[in-house]
Amino acid sequence: MKHRLSRRAAVGALAASATLGIEKYRIIDPHVHVWKRDPKYPWAKETTNPPDYDATPEMLLDLMKANDVEKTVIVQVIHYRWDNSYLADVLKKYPTYFQGVARVNPESPAAPDDLSRLVEQQKFRGVRISPAANASGDWISGPLMPPLWKRCETLKVPMLVLTAITRIPDVEKLIEKFPELTVVIDHMADSPLDKPEQLNMLLALKRYPKVFVKISHTWSLSKQPFPYTDSQAQVKRLYDAFGPQKLMWGTDWPLVENHCGYAKALSVVRDEMKFLSADDKSWILSKTIERVWPFA
């Protein structure tokens, strides 16, 4: 004999779940890449070692479905440099599932106008810059940066920064100039675990209300096997400083497949970081991301 849950019992169950801090939320992955080996989308001339395999949105959608990930932010992969054509076509084909972050040439005076075109005409929702730690990345402190950051602020799209921890003080100078701009620091600035004092440069950004940090790359920083306890200790320091409302996970698919794989990249946050509460996870896996990239 089948028993139906009464309306009163159903409401009571929902209330109990809320009391326990159990919340239904959709999982959103804020950091993946896609590409396809296709003459229609040539690699940039600077790309000397392009991937010998495809990472298509269809492959990604299969992984998302298998892992209950509903939405994803795709970041323009460096192999194409400033030609965002492939990602633009992906976004046009699958608008329900994806938002996109573009790249523009940070050493070009045309970068602000390029960004405006990508945002206004092709619906990109952010830009990523990658200043190297050595002298080749000194443009981060040059005269072309303020106009690009200002345009990003005007367009109300986030600025993503992929860089080494030693570049964070240079990034902070720009954050100070543009406090209304949402800035996302990718992959914990790859701060090395064997130099814990260097993380202080990233922790210093906690005072800026619009700075967010991706706690991705636990798998690449770690010297240990899954679940990367040494990297988790670094995440805990960031958690204590920023709080879950300013942290977000990310798989960095397909690069993660060379390490633990997509499913474990999710599991290490959802299941293995024991210092996170159910409410914390609802932020790091979902609500923080939607603060930066709202999805319908």
Residue 153 lies in a domain: yes
**Is the distance from CB of 209 to CB of 243 less than 8 angstroms?**
no
Q: Is the pTM of this model over 0.85?
A: yes
Using a 10 angstrom Cβ sphere, with 0-12 exposed, 13-18 middle and 19 or more buried, the burial of residue 296 is exposed
Which amino acid does the sequence have at 78? I
pLDDT at 5 over 80: no
Residue 168 lies in a domain: yes
Question: How many helices, marked H, and strands, marked E, lie in the chain?
Answer: 12, 8
What's the pLDDT score for residue 17? 44
DSSP bridge pairs for 213: 185, 247
211 alpha carbon, distance to own chain's centre: 12
Q: CATH no. for residue 108?
A: 3.20.20.140
What's the pLDDT score for residue 222? 97
For residue range 78-113, list pLDDT tens digits in order.
999 999 999 999 999 999 999 999 999 999 999 999
Q: Which residue has the higher pLDDT, 12 or 212?
A: 212
pLDDT at 4 over 80: no
pLDDT at 14 over 80: no
Residue 173 lies in a domain: yes
Q: In the predicted model, what is the mean pLDDT of residues 149-172?
A: 98
CA 224 to CA 252: how far, in whole Å?
19
18 alpha carbon, distance to own chain's centre: 28
What's the pLDDT score for residue 24? 84
Q: In the predicted model, what is the mean pLDDT of residues 176-183?
A: 98
* Percent composition of the chain: helix, strand, coil (DSSP 3-state, to 5): 50, 15, 40
Using a 10 angstrom Cβ sphere, with 0-12 exposed, 13-18 middle and 19 or more buried, the burial of residue 222 is buried
pLDDT at 9 over 90: no
What's the pLDDT score for residue 22? 53
Predicted confidence band of residue 23 (pLDDT cuts 50, 70, 90): low
pLDDT at 181 over 60: yes
Residue 2 lies in a domain: no
Q: Which residue has the higher pLDDT, 141 or 12?
A: 141
For residue range 187-198, list pLDDT tens digits in order.
999 999 999 999
Residue 190 lies in a domain: yes
What's the pLDDT score for residue 16? 42
Torsion, CA 147, CA 150, CA 152, CA 154, rounded to 10: -130
Residue 17 lies in a domain: no
What is the residue range of 256's domain? 25-292
Residue 7 lies in a domain: no
**What's the domain count of the chain?**
1
Residue 1 lies in a domain: no
Closest alpha carbon to 140 in 102, 122, 166? 166
Average pLDDT in the chain: 93
The encoded tokens of residue 205 equal 């950004």
Cβ atoms within 10 A of the Cβ of 133, count? Answer: 12
